[in-house]
Amino acid sequence: AYVITQPCIGTKDASCVDVCPVDCIHPGPGEAGYDEHEQLYINPDECIDCGACEPACPVTAIFEESAVPAEWKQWIKINADFFQGA
């Protein structure tokens, strides 16, 4: 699945939402200490790996799971946990 990472925080351009064919990108709270609805998240169970969202993001926040930069690897779990209600 694709994953939304740190650059989305505080930007939330939402161009990704417009191009996602399965409507699996949703707003949610950021990490502890950030305001609510601080970034958007991709539901890993619904993402079909089409890749449309990646180039649509103006701040390069979206990566295929295996291509997430090392410093943002924790966002893989953050995205997954959000949809599990964790």
Where on the chain is the footprint of ligand SF4 (CB under 6 A)? Answer: 2, 19-20, 22, 24-25, 42, 47-53
Per DSSP, 64 falls in state: E
Which of ligand SF4, ligand F3S, none does 22 bind, CB closer than 5 to 8 A by kind?
ligand SF4
- Helix H segments across the chain? 15-19, 53-56, 74-83
Q: Residue 11 Cβ, how far from ligand F3S at the closest point, in Å?
A: 4
Per DSSP, 35 falls in state: P
- The binding site for ligand F3S (CB under 6 A) comprises 4, 8, 11-16, 40, 56-57, 59, 61-62
